[in-house]
Structure 1
Protein backbone atom coordinates (compact mmCIF):
# COMPACT_ATOMS: atom_id res chain seq x y z
CA UNK A 1 0.00 0.00 0.00
CA UNK A 2 1.53 3.32 -1.05
CA UNK A 3 0.51 6.23 1.16
CA UNK A 4 2.90 8.80 -0.26
CA UNK A 5 0.19 10.92 -1.90
CA UNK A 6 -2.56 10.44 0.65
CA UNK A 7 -4.58 13.23 2.17
CA UNK A 8 -3.22 14.06 5.61
CA UNK A 9 -5.09 15.43 8.62
CA UNK A 10 -4.60 18.95 9.91
CA UNK A 11 -3.31 17.62 13.23
CA UNK A 12 0.21 16.36 12.46
CA UNK A 13 0.57 12.67 13.29
CA UNK A 14 3.66 10.48 13.33
CA UNK A 15 4.03 6.78 14.04
CA UNK A 16 6.78 5.01 15.97
CA UNK A 17 7.12 1.32 15.09
CA UNK A 18 9.40 -0.30 17.67
CA UNK A 19 9.03 -3.62 19.49
CA UNK A 20 10.87 -2.11 22.48
CA UNK A 21 7.97 -0.47 24.31
CA UNK A 22 10.14 1.50 26.71
CA UNK A 23 12.30 2.88 23.89
CA UNK A 24 9.20 3.86 21.91
CA UNK A 25 7.64 5.61 24.92
CA UNK A 26 10.89 7.47 25.55
CA UNK A 27 11.09 8.66 21.95
CA UNK A 28 7.42 9.64 21.98
CA UNK A 29 7.98 11.70 25.12
CA UNK A 30 10.94 13.46 23.54
CA UNK A 31 9.13 14.15 20.26
CA UNK A 32 6.12 15.53 22.16
CA UNK A 33 8.44 17.69 24.23
CA UNK A 34 10.24 19.27 21.29
CA UNK A 35 7.21 19.36 18.95
CA UNK A 36 4.16 19.54 21.26
CA UNK A 37 1.75 20.23 18.41
CA UNK A 38 2.11 16.72 16.95
CA UNK A 39 0.33 13.49 17.84
CA UNK A 40 2.60 10.46 18.27
CA UNK A 41 1.27 6.89 18.07
CA UNK A 42 3.38 3.89 19.10
CA UNK A 43 3.15 0.42 17.56
CA UNK A 44 5.02 -2.69 18.67
CA UNK A 45 4.93 -4.26 15.21
CA UNK A 46 4.16 -3.52 11.59
CA UNK A 47 1.01 -5.65 11.85
CA UNK A 48 -0.25 -3.33 14.62
CA UNK A 49 0.39 -0.34 12.38
CA UNK A 50 -1.58 -2.01 9.58
CA UNK A 51 -4.71 -2.10 11.76
CA UNK A 52 -4.74 1.71 11.63
CA UNK A 53 -5.21 4.13 8.77
CA UNK A 54 -1.60 4.48 7.61
CA UNK A 55 -2.59 7.39 5.38
CA UNK A 56 -2.83 9.57 8.49
CA UNK A 57 0.89 9.70 9.18
CA UNK A 58 3.37 12.31 8.05
CA UNK A 59 6.29 10.17 9.17
CA UNK A 60 7.13 6.64 10.24
CA UNK A 61 9.91 6.31 12.82
CA UNK A 62 10.89 2.66 12.43
CA UNK A 63 13.61 0.37 13.80
CA UNK A 64 16.03 -1.31 11.42
CA UNK A 65 14.62 -4.79 12.08
CA UNK A 66 11.05 -3.78 11.24
CA UNK A 67 12.31 -1.84 8.22
CA UNK A 68 14.09 -4.91 6.84
CA UNK A 69 11.10 -7.23 7.33
CA UNK A 70 8.72 -4.78 5.61
CA UNK A 71 11.15 -3.21 3.19
CA UNK A 72 8.80 -2.79 0.23
CA UNK A 73 6.29 -0.71 2.20
CA UNK A 74 8.95 1.63 3.51
CA UNK A 75 10.58 1.91 0.09
CA UNK A 76 7.18 2.96 -1.27
CA UNK A 77 7.00 5.52 1.55
CA UNK A 78 10.65 6.49 1.54
CA UNK A 79 10.07 10.23 2.01
CA UNK A 80 7.99 9.52 5.11
CA UNK A 81 10.35 6.99 6.66
CA UNK A 82 12.92 7.81 9.35
CA UNK A 83 14.98 4.84 10.49
CA UNK A 84 15.96 4.61 14.16
CA UNK A 85 19.56 3.48 14.51
CA UNK A 86 22.06 3.14 17.35
CA UNK A 87 25.07 4.17 15.30
CA UNK A 88 26.26 6.99 13.06
CA UNK A 89 27.34 4.42 10.47
CA UNK A 90 24.12 2.79 9.23
CA UNK A 91 24.02 -0.20 6.89
CA UNK A 92 23.90 0.17 3.11
CA UNK A 93 20.14 -0.40 3.08
CA UNK A 94 19.49 2.16 5.82
CA UNK A 95 21.72 4.69 4.05
CA UNK A 96 19.03 4.97 1.37
CA UNK A 97 16.61 6.37 3.98
CA UNK A 98 16.66 9.29 6.37
CA UNK A 99 17.87 8.03 9.73
CA UNK A 100 18.53 9.27 13.25
CA UNK A 101 20.84 7.82 15.87
CA UNK A 102 18.72 7.55 19.02
CA UNK A 103 21.67 6.51 21.17
CA UNK A 104 22.63 10.16 21.77
CA UNK A 105 21.75 13.03 24.08
CA UNK A 106 18.53 15.04 23.69
CA UNK A 107 20.43 18.00 22.25
CA UNK A 108 22.09 15.79 19.62
CA UNK A 109 18.76 14.19 18.71
CA UNK A 110 17.19 17.64 18.35
CA UNK A 111 20.01 18.61 15.98
CA UNK A 112 19.47 15.43 13.95
CA UNK A 113 15.75 16.15 13.58
CA UNK A 114 16.47 19.72 12.54
CA UNK A 115 18.94 18.52 9.92
CA UNK A 116 16.24 16.17 8.61
CA UNK A 117 13.86 19.12 8.40
CA UNK A 118 16.44 21.19 6.52
CA UNK A 119 17.22 18.33 4.13
CA UNK A 120 13.52 17.69 3.56
CA UNK A 121 12.96 21.30 2.49
CA UNK A 122 15.41 20.68 -0.35
CA UNK A 123 13.70 17.44 -1.41
CA UNK A 124 10.05 18.42 -1.24
CA UNK A 125 9.03 16.58 1.93
CA UNK A 126 9.33 18.00 5.41
CA UNK A 127 7.88 17.93 8.87
CA UNK A 128 4.29 19.24 8.82
CA UNK A 129 4.37 22.74 7.38
CA UNK A 130 1.74 24.09 9.72
CA UNK A 131 3.97 23.14 12.65
CA UNK A 132 5.74 26.48 12.42
CA UNK A 133 2.76 28.52 11.26
CA UNK A 134 0.37 27.29 13.94
CA UNK A 135 2.94 27.87 16.67
CA UNK A 136 3.49 31.52 15.74
CA UNK A 137 1.94 33.22 18.76
CA UNK A 138 3.02 36.79 18.20
CA UNK A 139 6.29 37.00 20.10
CA UNK A 140 7.43 40.58 20.54
CA UNK A 141 10.77 41.65 19.02
CA UNK A 142 12.33 41.64 22.50
CA UNK A 143 10.95 38.17 23.24
CA UNK A 144 12.48 36.92 19.99
CA UNK A 145 15.83 38.38 21.06
CA UNK A 146 15.57 36.61 24.41
CA UNK A 147 14.52 33.37 22.71
CA UNK A 148 17.53 33.35 20.38
CA UNK A 149 19.86 33.92 23.33
CA UNK A 150 18.24 31.06 25.25
CA UNK A 151 18.73 28.78 22.26
CA UNK A 152 22.37 29.86 22.03
CA UNK A 153 22.85 28.56 25.57
CA UNK A 154 23.06 31.78 27.56
CA UNK A 155 21.77 31.84 31.13
CA UNK A 156 19.40 34.57 32.35
CA UNK A 157 22.15 36.78 33.81
CA UNK A 158 24.15 36.65 30.58
CA UNK A 159 21.06 37.51 28.53
CA UNK A 160 20.36 40.47 30.80
CA UNK A 161 23.91 41.75 30.35
CA UNK A 162 23.89 41.31 26.57
CA UNK A 163 20.53 43.04 26.10
CA UNK A 164 21.16 45.67 28.80
CA UNK A 165 17.98 44.81 30.68
CA UNK A 166 17.34 43.67 34.24
CA UNK A 167 17.44 40.04 35.31
CA UNK A 168 13.79 40.21 36.37
CA UNK A 169 12.84 41.46 32.90
CA UNK A 170 14.60 38.48 31.30
CA UNK A 171 12.75 36.11 33.62
CA UNK A 172 9.44 37.76 32.71
CA UNK A 173 10.20 37.51 28.98
CA UNK A 174 11.19 33.86 29.39
CA UNK A 175 7.94 33.10 31.21
CA UNK A 176 5.92 34.84 28.49
CA UNK A 177 7.76 32.93 25.75
CA UNK A 178 7.10 29.51 27.28
CA UNK A 179 3.45 30.37 27.95
CA UNK A 180 2.86 31.63 24.41
CA UNK A 181 4.64 28.74 22.70
CA UNK A 182 3.60 26.00 25.17
CA UNK A 183 7.22 24.85 25.11
CA UNK A 184 9.44 24.73 28.17
CA UNK A 185 12.61 22.79 27.33
CA UNK A 186 15.54 24.35 25.49
CA UNK A 187 15.26 21.56 22.91
CA UNK A 188 11.66 22.48 22.16
CA UNK A 189 12.51 26.18 21.95
CA UNK A 190 15.42 25.36 19.65
CA UNK A 191 13.17 23.49 17.22
CA UNK A 192 10.73 26.41 17.21
CA UNK A 193 13.44 29.05 16.73
CA UNK A 194 15.06 27.22 13.81
CA UNK A 195 11.76 26.43 12.08
CA UNK A 196 10.71 30.07 12.41
CA UNK A 197 14.03 31.23 10.96
CA UNK A 198 15.12 33.09 14.10
CA UNK A 199 18.38 31.14 14.20
CA UNK A 200 20.19 28.98 11.65
CA UNK A 201 20.88 25.29 12.19
CA UNK A 202 24.53 25.90 11.27
CA UNK A 203 24.85 28.22 14.26
CA UNK A 204 23.43 25.49 16.49
CA UNK A 205 26.08 23.11 15.14
CA UNK A 206 28.88 25.58 15.89
CA UNK A 207 27.65 26.13 19.43
CA UNK A 208 27.99 22.42 20.22
CA UNK A 209 31.43 22.00 18.64
Structure 2
Protein backbone atom coordinates (compact mmCIF):
# COMPACT_ATOMS: atom_id res chain seq x y z
CA UNK A 1 0.00 0.00 0.00
CA UNK A 2 1.35 3.42 -0.97
CA UNK A 3 1.56 6.06 1.74
CA UNK A 4 -0.56 9.17 1.16
CA UNK A 5 1.46 12.19 0.07
CA UNK A 6 1.45 15.76 1.37
CA UNK A 7 2.89 18.66 -0.62
CA UNK A 8 4.48 21.73 0.97
CA UNK A 9 4.65 24.62 -1.49
CA UNK A 10 6.60 27.61 -0.22
CA UNK A 11 9.61 29.49 -1.64
CA UNK A 12 11.11 29.78 1.89
CA UNK A 13 13.45 26.75 2.05
CA UNK A 14 14.05 26.92 5.81
CA UNK A 15 10.34 27.11 6.60
CA UNK A 16 9.69 24.18 4.25
CA UNK A 17 12.36 21.98 5.83
CA UNK A 18 11.18 22.75 9.37
CA UNK A 19 7.53 22.10 8.54
CA UNK A 20 8.45 18.88 6.73
CA UNK A 21 10.18 17.55 9.84
CA UNK A 22 7.24 18.47 12.09
CA UNK A 23 4.66 16.98 9.69
CA UNK A 24 6.61 13.73 9.45
CA UNK A 25 6.55 13.55 13.26
CA UNK A 26 2.85 14.42 13.53
CA UNK A 27 1.77 12.07 10.74
CA UNK A 28 4.41 9.33 10.33
CA UNK A 29 2.27 7.41 7.82
CA UNK A 30 2.50 10.24 5.27
CA UNK A 31 5.14 10.99 2.66
CA UNK A 32 5.98 14.70 2.60
CA UNK A 33 7.26 16.27 -0.62
CA UNK A 34 8.47 19.87 -0.85
CA UNK A 35 8.30 22.37 -3.69
CA UNK A 36 9.59 25.92 -4.05
CA UNK A 37 6.87 26.94 -6.49
CA UNK A 38 3.40 25.99 -7.71
CA UNK A 39 4.80 25.11 -11.17
CA UNK A 40 7.26 22.66 -9.58
CA UNK A 41 4.44 20.94 -7.65
CA UNK A 42 2.16 20.91 -10.71
CA UNK A 43 4.87 19.16 -12.74
CA UNK A 44 4.88 16.35 -10.14
CA UNK A 45 1.30 15.06 -10.53
CA UNK A 46 -0.46 17.73 -8.43
CA UNK A 47 -3.64 15.67 -8.04
CA UNK A 48 -1.81 12.83 -6.27
CA UNK A 49 -1.45 14.78 -3.00
CA UNK A 50 -3.67 14.18 0.03
CA UNK A 51 -3.10 17.75 1.29
CA UNK A 52 -1.33 20.91 0.19
CA UNK A 53 0.41 23.07 2.82
CA UNK A 54 0.84 26.33 0.90
CA UNK A 55 2.27 29.80 1.51
CA UNK A 56 -0.41 32.50 1.29
CA UNK A 57 1.23 34.22 -1.70
CA UNK A 58 1.27 30.92 -3.65
CA UNK A 59 -2.45 30.40 -2.94
CA UNK A 60 -3.26 33.95 -4.06
CA UNK A 61 -1.26 33.58 -7.29
CA UNK A 62 -2.94 30.23 -8.09
CA UNK A 63 -6.33 30.75 -6.47
CA UNK A 64 -8.47 28.77 -8.98
CA UNK A 65 -6.51 25.54 -8.36
CA UNK A 66 -6.57 25.88 -4.56
CA UNK A 67 -10.21 26.98 -4.46
CA UNK A 68 -11.12 23.82 -6.40
CA UNK A 69 -9.05 21.85 -3.85
CA UNK A 70 -10.18 23.86 -0.79
CA UNK A 71 -10.80 20.74 1.35
CA UNK A 72 -7.21 19.60 0.73
CA UNK A 73 -5.51 23.00 1.18
CA UNK A 74 -3.97 24.34 4.40
CA UNK A 75 -2.71 27.91 4.04
CA UNK A 76 0.50 28.79 5.91
CA UNK A 77 -0.01 32.24 7.43
CA UNK A 78 2.22 34.54 9.43
CA UNK A 79 -0.53 35.69 11.81
CA UNK A 80 -3.20 34.12 14.03
CA UNK A 81 -5.47 37.11 13.39
CA UNK A 82 -8.57 35.75 11.58
CA UNK A 83 -8.88 39.06 9.70
CA UNK A 84 -5.51 38.49 8.01
CA UNK A 85 -6.26 34.89 6.95
CA UNK A 86 -8.00 33.61 3.83
CA UNK A 87 -11.56 32.90 4.95
CA UNK A 88 -12.27 30.06 2.51
CA UNK A 89 -9.39 27.88 3.70
CA UNK A 90 -8.01 26.08 6.76
CA UNK A 91 -5.07 28.16 7.99
CA UNK A 92 -2.08 27.42 10.22
CA UNK A 93 0.12 30.20 11.60
CA UNK A 94 3.79 29.33 11.15
CA UNK A 95 5.05 32.27 13.26
CA UNK A 96 4.76 30.53 16.62
CA UNK A 97 6.98 28.34 18.75
CA UNK A 98 7.33 24.65 17.91
CA UNK A 99 5.05 23.50 20.73
CA UNK A 100 2.17 25.76 19.59
CA UNK A 101 2.69 24.81 15.93
CA UNK A 102 2.59 21.11 16.83
CA UNK A 103 -0.63 21.69 18.81
CA UNK A 104 -2.18 23.54 15.85
CA UNK A 105 -1.29 20.69 13.49
CA UNK A 106 -2.61 18.08 15.93
CA UNK A 107 -5.89 20.02 16.33
CA UNK A 108 -6.17 20.23 12.54
CA UNK A 109 -5.48 16.50 12.12
CA UNK A 110 -7.94 15.49 14.81
CA UNK A 111 -10.77 17.76 13.68
CA UNK A 112 -10.36 17.15 9.95
CA UNK A 113 -9.62 13.44 10.11
CA UNK A 114 -11.63 12.33 13.13
CA UNK A 115 -8.67 10.74 14.96
CA UNK A 116 -7.33 9.24 11.74
CA UNK A 117 -10.58 7.53 10.67
CA UNK A 118 -10.29 9.07 7.20
CA UNK A 119 -6.66 8.04 6.82
CA UNK A 120 -5.26 4.67 5.73
CA UNK A 121 -4.30 2.25 8.51
CA UNK A 122 -1.01 2.89 10.31
CA UNK A 123 1.67 0.28 9.53
CA UNK A 124 1.88 -2.35 12.29
CA UNK A 125 5.43 -1.34 13.25
CA UNK A 126 4.20 2.20 14.04
CA UNK A 127 1.19 0.92 15.95
CA UNK A 128 3.02 -1.54 18.20
CA UNK A 129 2.79 -0.91 21.95
CA UNK A 130 6.31 -0.01 22.94
CA UNK A 131 5.69 1.33 26.45
CA UNK A 132 4.58 -0.35 29.66
CA UNK A 133 1.37 0.82 31.33
CA UNK A 134 3.37 2.77 33.94
CA UNK A 135 5.49 4.41 31.22
CA UNK A 136 2.28 5.46 29.46
CA UNK A 137 1.05 7.03 32.73
CA UNK A 138 4.34 8.92 33.12
CA UNK A 139 4.31 9.97 29.44
CA UNK A 140 0.75 11.31 29.76
CA UNK A 141 1.67 13.41 32.79
CA UNK A 142 4.84 14.75 31.12
CA UNK A 143 2.81 15.82 28.09
CA UNK A 144 0.18 17.44 30.32
CA UNK A 145 2.95 19.67 31.70
CA UNK A 146 3.72 18.14 35.10
CA UNK A 147 7.29 18.25 36.40
CA UNK A 148 9.07 15.13 37.72
CA UNK A 149 8.26 15.85 41.39
CA UNK A 150 4.54 16.33 40.63
CA UNK A 151 4.49 13.10 38.61
CA UNK A 152 6.12 11.22 41.51
CA UNK A 153 3.50 12.59 43.92
CA UNK A 154 0.57 11.79 41.60
CA UNK A 155 1.71 8.21 41.00
CA UNK A 156 3.06 7.57 44.54
CA UNK A 157 6.51 6.63 43.25
CA UNK A 158 9.97 8.00 43.93
CA UNK A 159 11.49 10.90 42.04
CA UNK A 160 14.36 8.70 40.80
CA UNK A 161 11.79 6.21 39.45
CA UNK A 162 10.10 8.98 37.45
CA UNK A 163 13.48 10.04 36.04
CA UNK A 164 14.24 6.42 35.08
CA UNK A 165 10.82 6.04 33.40
CA UNK A 166 11.34 9.31 31.54
CA UNK A 167 14.74 8.17 30.25
CA UNK A 168 13.35 4.76 29.25
CA UNK A 169 10.43 6.36 27.40
CA UNK A 170 12.73 8.62 25.40
CA UNK A 171 15.12 5.75 24.65
CA UNK A 172 12.35 3.35 23.56
CA UNK A 173 10.68 5.93 21.33
CA UNK A 174 13.88 7.55 20.09
CA UNK A 175 12.45 10.97 20.93
CA UNK A 176 14.42 13.81 22.49
CA UNK A 177 11.91 16.62 23.14
CA UNK A 178 8.63 17.19 24.95
CA UNK A 179 7.12 18.32 21.60
CA UNK A 180 7.98 14.96 20.05
CA UNK A 181 6.57 13.15 23.11
CA UNK A 182 3.40 15.26 22.79
CA UNK A 183 2.95 14.22 19.16
CA UNK A 184 3.45 10.56 20.05
CA UNK A 185 1.06 10.68 23.02
CA UNK A 186 -1.74 12.44 21.11
CA UNK A 187 -1.38 10.32 17.97
CA UNK A 188 -1.59 7.13 20.05
CA UNK A 189 -4.58 8.36 22.04
CA UNK A 190 -2.77 8.49 25.39
CA UNK A 191 -3.61 12.18 25.92
CA UNK A 192 -6.54 14.28 24.77
CA UNK A 193 -5.32 17.26 22.72
CA UNK A 194 -7.46 19.55 24.91
CA UNK A 195 -5.43 18.60 28.03
CA UNK A 196 -2.12 19.96 26.76
Shorter-chain TM-score: which interval?
A: 0.7 to 0.9
Name the structure 1 match of 2:59. 67
**2:46 alignment partner, one of 51, 54, 59:** 54
Asked if 1:192 is matched to 2:178, the reply is no
CA offset at residue 22 of structure 1? Answer: 2.0
* Partner of residue 134, structure 2: 142
What is the RMSD of the two structures over their aligned residues, measured on CA atoms? Answer: 2.9
Higher relative contact order (CA 8 A, sep 6+): 1
2:160 aligned residue (160, 168, 180): 168
Number of corresponding residues: 195
Write out aligned runs for 1:1-209 (5 A): 9-10=2-3, 12-36=4-28, 38-90=30-82, 94-121=86-113, 128-130=119-121, 135-138=126-129, 139-204=131-196
Does the CA-based 8 Å contact 1:132-1:196 persist in structure 2? no
In 2 relative to 1, CA 125–134 (structure 1 residues): closer, same or farther, beyond 3 Å?
same
Where does structure 1 lack aligned partners over 5 or more consecutive residues? 1-7, 205-209
**1:16 match: secondary structure:** strand
- Measure how far apart 1:104 and its partner are: 0.9
The alpha-carbon deviation at position 146 of structure 1 amounts to: 0.7
5+ unaligned residues in a row in structure 2: which ranges?
none
**DSSP-derived class of the 1:94 partner:** coil
Q: Is the 8 A contact 1:183 1:189 kept in 2?
A: yes
SS of the residue corresponding to residue 66 of structure 1 reads helix
2:112 and 2:124 map into 1 onto residues whose CA distance is 17
For residue 135 of structure 1, give the secondary structure of its aligned residue in structure 2: helix
